[in-house]
Structure 1
Amino acid sequence: MDLESIKAWFTIENIMDLLSEYRSFGPIPGILLPMLEAFLPFLPLFLFVMANANAFGLWFGFLFSWIGAVAGALLVFWIFRKYGQARVLRIIHRHPKVQKGMNWIERRGFGPLFLILCFPFTPSALVNIVSGLSNISMAQYMLAVVAGKMVMIFTISFVGYDIRSLVTNPSRTAVVLVIIAVLWYVGKRIEVKMNMSVKKDEH
C-alpha cells in the first residue's frame, strides 16, 4: 500500500468506524490518533479531532484530542532535544532551513510559537522538530504547545462535533467551510510571514 492509498483511507467515516470498533479501549484510540500525527504529519489531524468530537462528544472529544496532540508534540520535541546531536539526526540539524528556523524561534520565543500552533494548517511537525533542536527552553515550548494546541483543537472540535448537521443544515455547512477556509488562509499567511522574517534576518 503506497502513501496515496493510505491518505485516501483516512476519511471521517473510516476514522469513526475505527473508533467505534475499538470503543472497548475507552479514550485510548482517541488519544493515540492525534499523538501519532505528531510523528507522521501526513496524517489528517483535522479529521482525527472531528471524529473524536463526534464519537465522544464535544468536551471529551476535545480533551482526548488535546491530550494526544500535546503528548505527541512534546515527545517529538524531547526526542530531538535529547538526540539531536546524534549522528543519524545531525544531518537534519545542519540543514540550512532547519538552522534558519532554529534561529527564528530562539529570537522570538513564546509569542510567535504560540500563534503558529493555534492554526491547524501550519507545519506544526516541523515546528516541533526545529524547537527541539533550538535553544528555546522546555518551559517556554511546553507553555506554547499546551496553550496553542488548546485553541486549535477546540476550534476544530467545535466546528466538527455534529457531522450530521453538516448534511441536514446547509447554512451550518457554509459557516464550517468559511471557518476552515479562514483557518487555512491565516495559517498560510503566518507561514509566509515566518519565511519572510527568516529571509530578512539573513540580510
Structure 2
Amino acid sequence: MTDFFSLENIEELQNSYRAFGPLISVLLPFLESFLPFLPLFVFVVANASAYGLWIGFLLSWGGSVAGAYVVFLIVRRFGQARFLNFMTRHERVRKLIHWVDRNGFGPLFLLLCFPFTPSSIVNVVAGLSGIKKGEYLLAVLAGKFVMILTVSYVGYDIRALITQPGRTAVVITIVAVLYVLGKVLEKRLNAKADKEFEKVQAEELQEEQEKDG
C-alpha cells in the first residue's frame, strides 16, 4: 500500500491520466451530472493534478457546468411528460420546487458552492421550477466556479499531499469543513422550504374554506 502511494507511482498515474487528453477530463465531470454516483470530487482533483490548477479547473468547470445545464434543460423540456411525472408526486420535491420559485438564484448558488451537495437533485428541481433559464445558468456558473476552484486548489499538488503532512492536515480540515457546512446549509434550506410550503398550504386551505362558506 505504501509503495502504491509513492511519488513515482503518483507521477505515473498523472501521466497516464493526461495521456487520455483533455476530452476525457471534460467528459467525466459532464457525465457526473447524469450519473450522480460518479465521484465529481475525484475527477476535479485528478484534472487539477494532471493539468495544473488553472487548466485543470477550467476543464472540470466547463464539463460540470455543461452537464448541469443540459440536465436542467432536459427536465425543463420534458418535465411534464408522463415518464417524469413521478418526481413531482413526492411532497419533498414539491416543497423544493416551491422554495426555488419563491427564492430563485440565492439558495441555488449557495447549494452549488459546496462539493458534497447533491447537485443532480438541484438540477432536476430547478428544471421543474419556474426559474428562468438565464438565471439558473448564472447560478450554475457562479456556484460551480466557487466549488470547483476550491476543490482544484485542494488537490492540484498531489506530491505535496504525500511529502508535506502539514498541508495534508489542512486539506483534510478544509474538506471536512466544506462537508459539514454544506450539510448544515442543506438542512436549513430544507427546513425553510418545509415551513414556507406548509404556510402556503394553510393559506390555500383557508381560501377554499372561505369560498365554500
1:178 aligns with 2:178: no
Superposed CA offset, 1:167-191 (max 9, x none): 1100000000010011001100111
Deviation at 1:198, TM superposition (A): 1.7
Contact 1:30–1:52 (Cα < 8 Å) also in 2: yes
Which residues of structure 1 form unaligned runs of 5+?
A: 1-12
Matches within 5 A, 1:136-155: 136-155=131-150
The structure-2 alpha-carbon separation of the partners of 1:18 and 1:130, relative to structure 1 and needing over 3 Å to count, comes to farther
Query: Which residue of 2 is the match for residue 130 of structure 1?
Result: 125
Change in 2 beyond 3 A, CA 1:61/1:163: same
Q: Distance in 2 between matches of 1:182 and 1:82?
A: 37
**Cross-structure match for 2:5:** none
Structure 1 residues 27 and 136 mapped into 2: Cα distance closer, same or farther (>3 Å)?
A: same
Equivalenced residue count is 189
**Once superposed, what is the RMSD of the aligned Cα atoms?**
1.8
Shift of 1:200: 1.1
2:160 is aligned to: 165
| Selected match of 2:76 from 81, 85, 104 | 81
Whether the aligned pair in 1 keeps the contact of 2:57 and 2:148 (CA below 8 Å) is: yes
The answer to whether the 8 A contact 1:49-1:65 is kept is: yes
- TM-score calculated relative to the size of structure 1: 0.88
- Tell me the TM-score normalised to structure 2 length: 0.84
Give 1:119's aligned residue. Answer: 114
- In structure 2, runs of 5+ residues without a counterpart are 1-8, 200-213
Question: Which amino acid is 1:29 matched to?
Answer: I
